Amino acid sequence: MEAWQQLRRNFRELWQSFRGNRMGVIGLGLVISALIVAILAPWLTPYSPQQVMRDENGRGLTFAPPAVHPPLGTDDGGHDVWAQLVFGARISLTVGFLAGFIAMFVGSFLGILAGYFGGWLDNLLMRITDVLLVIPDLPLMLVLVATIRQMQLKISPITVLILVIGLLYWTSTARLVRSQVLSIKERQFVARARAIGAGHAHIIRKHILPQVMPLIVANTVLILSTAILIESGLAFLGLGDPTKPSWGTMLNFAFDRNAISNGAWWFYLPPGLAIVWVSLGCVLLGNVLEEMLNPRLSGHHLEGEAHIIKPGEQQ
């Protein structure tokens, strides 16, 4: 209980100092605004993402520039790009967030177990992360996704993406959490708790978890940005769901359907900017959180010279 209250207090303090950090606030703003757009998507556009826009003769309006069809023109399929963009936010963010959370849960769980219990479990886990670290991730994911889809397990392409990303990106979290748990384990209050006969589950829940929680939060935010970038990449390579276009899928269509030759910048610029928007937000946020939890060196020896106050100089 006490530890959790401490945690709440820590979060409040964190928030206090966070508010003063410009980078962090910008990052949070970027992420939240994207979330709001995703949630409000149906109210932000009169069109559905599947709807074909038409000219006055009722013919499909493809590759229409923004001047012809505001605000962002139409794509190769005659869809409203703005509608695709705001509904795409739902898909991109869903995949990013769910995959990120899976990675967080798996990573934290395994990291805590490994750090707390040590021994062969720790060894095994560390070897697995070592191995996963050197296998190039994109080829592995592409091969995995392609294989899983080929097996026709009746899982939607989006679910496949979420699972593959989530289950491959837990290693960094696991390592981080493990080392943190290792250092907490050595502290006195854990030894004391163990001495009075507290069970493992109790110690983990009451003492370890609240201590590693802030770290997990910061790390998750960073993983989110990776997950969103990876999703966009896989979708760009054609592994997304073409009927539920995410930002990556939009770019896949733009590239495959000659948006460049058509000079349709309104088709390929917005989705990319949206991806940068969110992933930059997460990176800023995550970096700031990490810096706050784990302040690095405040200065170094070559930053300049001390100021010498000359006699008579007012200070």
Partner 1 sequence: MSESTPLLSVRHLSTFFELSGNVKAYALEDVSFDVYPYQTLGLVGESGCGKSTTLMSILRLLPPNAHISGQVLFKGVDLLALSEEEMRAYRWKEIALIFQSAMNALNPVMRVDEQILEAILLHRLLPREQAWQRVQELLDLVGIAPQRGRQYPFQFSGGMRQRAMIAMALACSPSLLFADEPTTALDVMIQAQVLELLKNIQKRLGLAIVLVTHDLGVVAELCDQVVVLYGGKVAEYGSVDAIYNSPQHPYTQKLLEAFPDLHRPTASLASIPGTPPRLTDLPSGCRFEPRCFARLERCRHEPPALREVGEKHYAACHLLEEKENLLE
Partner 2 sequence: MGSGNYLLRKFAFALLTIFVVVIINFVLFRILPGDPVRAVIGRNVKISAEVQQSLREQFGLDKPVFPDQFLMTIRQWASGNLGVSWSLRRPVAEILISKLWNTLLLIGLGQILSIFFGVLLGLLAGWKRKTALDAGALTFSLIAWATPTFWLGIILLAAGSTWLGLPTGGILSPQNVGKPLHTVLPDLAVHLILPTLTLTILYLGEYMLIMRSSIVETLGEDYILTAKAKGLNQWQILWRHALKNAMLPIVTIIALNLGFTVSGAIYIETVFSYDGLGKLFQTALTKQDYPLLQGAFLLLAVSVILANMLADILYTILDPRVKAS
Partner 3 sequence: MYRTLLFGLLVLVLLTACTTSQPSTTETAPSTSPQAPAQPSTSQEPVTLRVGWPGFPDTLNPAYAFLTESYTMFDYIYSTLATESQSGEYVGLLAESWDVSDDGLVWTFKLRPNVRWHNGEPLTAEQVVWNLNAFIQNPDGWVTNSGYVAGFVEARVVDETTIEIETEYPISNMAYRVSFLYIVYPPDFEGFATPAELQNFTNFNAIGSGPFKLASLDKDQRIIILETNGDYFDGHAKIDRVIYQTFDNSDAMIQALKVGDIDLIGEVPDSAFAAVSAFENVKAISLPGRSITELIINSAPADHDPKPNRNPALEDPQVRLAIATAIDKQDLVDVVLQGNGTPGVTIIPPTLGGGFWFNSDIQDVKFDLDEANRILEEAGYVKGSDGVRAKGNVRLEMRLQYASDQPNYPRTAGMIANWLAQIGIKATPESVDPDSLVVATNPNADYDLVIWGWGADPDPDFMLSVMTSSQYVEGGWSDSGYSNPEYDRLYLEQQKAIEPEERQKIVWKMQEMVFNDRPYIVLWYGNILQAYRSDHFTGFIESLLGIDSFQSLMNVEPVR
Binding site for partner 2 (CB under 8 A): 127, 130-131, 133-140, 142-144, 146-147, 150-152, 225, 229, 232-233, 236-238, 248, 251, 254-255, 260, 263, 265, 268-269, 271-272, 275-276, 279-280, 282-284, 287, 296-297, 299-303
Cβ proximity to partner 3: between 90 and 257 the closer is 257
Q: Does 261 bind partner 3 (CB under 8 A)?
A: yes
For residue 256, state whether it binds partner 3 (rule: CB under 8 A). yes
Answer positive or negative: Cα dihedral of 261, 265, 270, 276: positive
Under the criterion CB under 8 A, does residue 281 sit at the interface with partner 3? no
**Residue 268 binds to partner 3 (criterion: CB under 8 A):** no
94 vs 97: CA distance, rounded Å: 5
Q: How far apart are CA 175 and CA 64, in angstroms?
A: 50
- From residue 267, alpha-carbon distances to 49, 64, 314 in Å are 14, 10, 61
Q: Which of 66/77 has CB closer to partner 3?
A: 77
276 binds, options partner 1, partner 3, partner 2, none, Cβ within 5 to 8 A by partner type: partner 2
| Residue 133 interacts with which of partner 2, partner 3, partner 1, none, CB < 5 to 8 Å by class | partner 2
SS3 173: helix
Judged by CB under 8 A, the residue of 150, 188, 298, 314 near partner 3 is 150
Considering CB distances under 5 to 8 angstroms, the limit depending on partner class, which of partner 3, partner 2, partner 1, none binds residue 307?
partner 1
40: Cβ contacts below 8 Å, ≥ 6 apart: 86
Q: How far apart are CA 183 and CA 211, in angstroms?
A: 11
3-state secondary structure of 293: helix
Residue 46: both structure tokens together:
């009169």
Q: Of 303 and 313, which CB lies nearer to partner 2 in the complex structure?
A: 303
Q: Across 2-134, where does the E strand assignment appear?
A: none
Which of 9, 19, 59, 192 is in the footprint of partner 3 by CB under 8 A? 59
Closest distance to partner 2 from the beta carbon of 218 (Å): 15
Q: Which CB sits closer to partner 1, 134 or 306?
A: 306
- The answer to whether 299 and 241 are in contact (CB under 8 A) is no
- Residues lying near partner 1 in the complex (CB under 8 A): 299, 301, 303-311, 313, 315
**Binding segment toward partner 3, per CB under 8 A, in 5-13, 74-82, 104-112, 172-180:** 74-82
| Binding of residue 159 to partner 3 (CB under 8 A) | no
Q: What distances in angstroms separate CA 81 from CA 88, 93, 247, 298, one per listed residue?
A: 10, 18, 11, 46
State the burial class of residue 52 (Cβ atoms within 10 Å of its Cβ: 0-12, 13-18, 19+). middle
Cα(first)–Cα(last) distance of the chain, in Å? 50
Residue 242 Cβ vs partner 3, minimum distance, rounded to whole Å = 4
Q: Which is nearer to partner 1, 56 or 303 (CB)?
A: 303
3-state secondary structure 226-251: HHHHHHHHHHHHHHCCCCCCCHHHHH
